[in-house]
A and B are shown apart, each in its own frame.
Chain A
Amino acid sequence: MDRRDFLKKSGAAIAGASGALSLPLLTACDPNVARPDSPLAGRKWGMVIDLNKCKSDCTACLDACREENNVAFHNDKRWDIHWIRKVNIRNKESEDDVEKPVILLCNHCENPPCAQVCPVQATYKRADGIVVVDHHRCIGCRYCMVACPYNARFFNYRENEEWPNTEYPKRSHGVAESCHFCAHLLDQGRRPACVEACEAGALHFGNLDDPESEVSELVANAPVKRIRDDWGTEPKVYYMGL
């Protein structure tokens, strides 16, 4: 073996060894790999919103969300936080050119841009598909607010003084937050506060992985749309009558 061959072969051996050794490190860094014993695995929560049933003057879901999750309301649009909100939009291409209310909340994307940009992995996707913020870990850099294409993320510019539901923690000044499908209620076997509060039956919630569930049947059979389906974020919030 001459000098040239030796250098070639040893270089190839080092490259191969470093690749093989770094593979477990890379998989360990993947935020989407859940622990095998996690009780969350095997489900994928999703929501179907029937906008035809939603009334424009009703705010039951918005109020229920604030009450349940201690969402800050300062009565000032610079600092108000909305986990779920209602906007009136008009589709000029449709026959009836009237304003319709649209419920907007975190879409709990299958490929969440907010979780991809989070530098401290405070935002991540749980094993059941819910995109959550670990507020202990959040450093308040607001990258997720920039990354979210649905403007679902809000920042605590001020300390929240209101504390309507003492069973659930509030957030301190300086962290980002968004809807988490009331994960604490799901763990108790309940449904999200907005779904429980909606008397018109416009909000449907369930397991998208279960073909028997209400949401799966609606997604399969009803004319549903997702907001900006072409972006590849794969939202888990579907709309009827959008």
Chain B
Amino acid sequence: MKLSTALQNKRLGVIVAILIVIVLLPFGFSGVRFAFARRDQMPDVFLEMPAADTSCVRDTEYMRFRHMDLLKQIREEFIRDGIRGDESLTNCRDCHTSRERFCSRCHEAASVILDCFGCHYYPEPDSGAGGSDREVDHG
């Protein structure tokens, strides 16, 4: 092999390597962020506890990250089959008295739109008004 061809091949290899790095960069970043995002670095709003009672219907870890699954499950069971247990959105507010502290703050941090309370009554103790946090535009 002549020297010029070998140099050319080497340059080609470098270009291909750079291209591969550029393509994989976003995946790499998200992987790195996921690895470094430890639970204790999450915002304080995750750690708020109700004052009245310390026992919830599930353990804290489940309720923090999977409460939407539980709400959907009890909703389907109740509306479709009439099976009404002790767990319901109405019963949540017995302990979690403030919508702002237990729902809105965390949902805003996670930027997940919350539209339960346009229809379900959950007043703010301060303002005394029900109603939605914002104008829901259904187009």
Contact = CB atoms under 8 A, between A and B. Distances in A.
Contacts of B118: 159, 172
B115 interface: yes
Contacts of B123: 166
A170 interface: yes
A134 B79 contact: yes
A38 B83 contact: yes
Given A173-B138, A174-B138, A124 B80 contact: yes
Contacts of A143: none
A172 B115 contact: yes
A136 B73 CA distance: 13
Nearest to A172: B118
With a 10 A CB-CB cut-off, give which of B81, B118, B131 has the most chain A CB atoms: B81
B75 interface: yes
Interface string B106-139: 0000000001001111010000001110001010
Contacts of B80: 35, 124, 126, 134
Contacts of A163: 121, 130-131
A229 B42 CA distance: 63
Q: Size range of the interface on B? A: 10 to 19
A57 interface: no
Contacts of B10: none
Nearest to A132: B79
With a 10 A CB-CB cut-off, give which of B80, B115, B120, B132 has the most chain A CB atoms: B80
A135 B119 contact: yes
Contact of B138 (A37, A132, A172): A172
A172 B136 contact: yes
B82 interface: yes
Nearest to A39: B82
A140 B57 CA distance: 34
Contact of A187 (B82, B131, B132): B82
A87 B115 CA distance: 36
B119 A171 contact: yes
Interface in A171-211: 171-174, 187
Contacts of A171: 119
Contact of A170 (B83, B84, B115, B119): B119
B81 A40 contact: yes
Interface in A82-133: 124, 126-128, 132
Interface in A127-156: 127-128, 132, 134-136, 140
Nearest to B138: A174
Interface in A17-42: 34-35, 37-40
Contacts of B132: 172
7 closest pairs, A vs B, by CB? A174-B138, A166-B121, A38-B81, A40-B82, A169-B119, A172-B118, A35-B81
17 contacts: A38-B81, A38-B83, A40-B82, A127-B82, A128-B82, A132-B79, A134-B80, A135-B119, A163-B130, A163-B131, A166-B130, A167-B121, A169-B119, A170-B119, A172-B118, A172-B119, A172-B132
